[in-house]
Amino acid sequence: MVHASARHFQIRSYKTSIDNLSASIRACVRCAALVKCRSQAVPGAGAVPAEVAFVGLAPGRFGGDRTGVPFEGDRSGELLRRMIRDVGLRSVFITNVVRCNPRDARGRNRDPSASEIANCRGYLAAEMELARPRLVVCLGRIAWRELAGRERPFTPGAANPTIASGLRLWPMYHPGYVIRGAYSEKSYRRDFARMARIVHAGRIGTPD
Ligand code: URA
């Protein structure tokens, strides 16, 4: 889980510039297994400062790993970006918990390990500090746990944001979950519309 002290430590070391931070992420070699299988490390991208930040899991094998941009080039990204556009959100920052595509021995996507998540933790904290989003949408359980902590249940459809890690957090299903048919696109669209209504109505401010 991201803590304020970690954020302040990281922000100083990245000299408060998103470009410096992104360059550090691209050059990262902390996880030997990921360095071996990735095409590239993928920093967050979008507006800084941002109204809303979206945090996914890790760059997709056919998306960010190839394009260098989170949620770009694959079906999850296409769905996410369509939803963002359709609800009229313009000032968004999109990133991931882990910056390299994790693959198993057969080359298939796998979940990142706890140590891989820990190695990327400071990057996410620094990005949030720089983007200063009014709302952080956690796409899926792993992003939620990373920012909200394990003790808070992942409950997409909640009526209000949760404040944790100095951020206003909003749980949502990962777009891949919708693509796999586990949740309907109609319900996903409704969830996005509800989240955007809160953002547009200005019912969120900066966490105290
Ligand atoms: N692409 C990303 O950038 N993140 C995901 O979690 C899935 C696809």
Pocket of ligand 1 (CB under 6 A): 56-60, 63-64, 70-71, 74, 76-77, 96, 176
CA-closest residue to ligand 1 atom 7: 60
Is the domain covering 4-200 a CATH 1.10.287.130 domain? Answer: no
Q: Provide the pLDDT confidence category of residue 109 given band limits of 50, 70 and 90.
A: confident
Q: What percent of the chain has pLDDT over 70?
A: 89
pLDDT greater than 80 at residue 206: no
- Burial class (CB within 10 angstroms; exposed 0-12, middle 13-18, buried 19+) of 124: buried
- Average per-residue pLDDT in the chain? 91
For residue 112, the CA-to-ligand 1 centroid distance in Å is 12
For residue 56, the CA-to-ligand 1 centroid distance in Å is 5
pLDDT value, residue 2: 57
Q: Provide the pLDDT confidence category of residue 4 given band limits of 50, 70 and 90.
A: very low
How many alpha carbons lie under 13 Å from residue 150 in its C-beta half-sphere? 0
In one-letter notation, the amino acid at residue 90 is: R
DSSP code string of 7-21: HHHHHHHTTT-HHHH
> Which atom of ligand 1 is nearest to 63's Cα?
1
For residue 101, the CA-to-ligand 1 centroid distance in Å is 9
Q: Provide the pLDDT confidence category of residue 9 given band limits of 50, 70 and 90.
A: very low
Which tokens is 65 given?
A: 């790993």
178: region left, alpha or beta (phi > 0 left; psi from -120 to 50 alpha)? alpha
For residue 13, the CA-to-ligand 1 centroid distance in Å is 27
195 to 55, 69, 96, 155, 185: CA distances (angstroms): 15, 24, 19, 14, 15
Query: Which of 71, 99, 103, 172 for a ligand 1 pocket mutation test, highest count of atoms within 8 Å of Cβ?
Result: 71
Angle at the Cα of 113 (from 108 to 116), degrees rounded to 5?
105
